[in-house]
Amino acid sequence: MDEPPDRESRLAAAQGVAARWWEAVLVDVRGRWATVRREPDAGYSTETVVVTGLLVVAALIVIAIIVAKVTEAANGISLVGG
């Protein structure tokens, strides 16, 4: 039977996947940057999408914090008389 991979080989495999992912991201960003430099107005929509994405992420973080606080407060309510 095959032995399960040890921790070091799993870590190396994960690092390889992460390295390939970052390489793909960099290639994509470089391509988009080249487009923006050729067409200055093309970057406006990209900027709008990035800002909107950051606002969505911020809103999700705020919602998660509120849900955690409300859940914590709700768990603190005692239903037993006293």
- What's the CA gap between 38 and 54, in Å, rounded? 25
Tracing tokens 């929509």 back to the chain, one arrives at: 45
**Residue 35 pLDDT:** 79
pLDDT reading at 8 higher than 60: yes
Q: By the 8 A CB rule, do 43 and 36 touch?
A: yes
**Residue 69 pLDDT:** 96
- What's the CA gap between 55 and 40, in Å, rounded? 24
What is this structure's pTM? 0.45
pLDDT reading at 51 higher than 80: yes
CA angle 20/25/27 to nearest 5° reads 95
- What's the CA gap between 44 and 34, in Å, rounded? 14
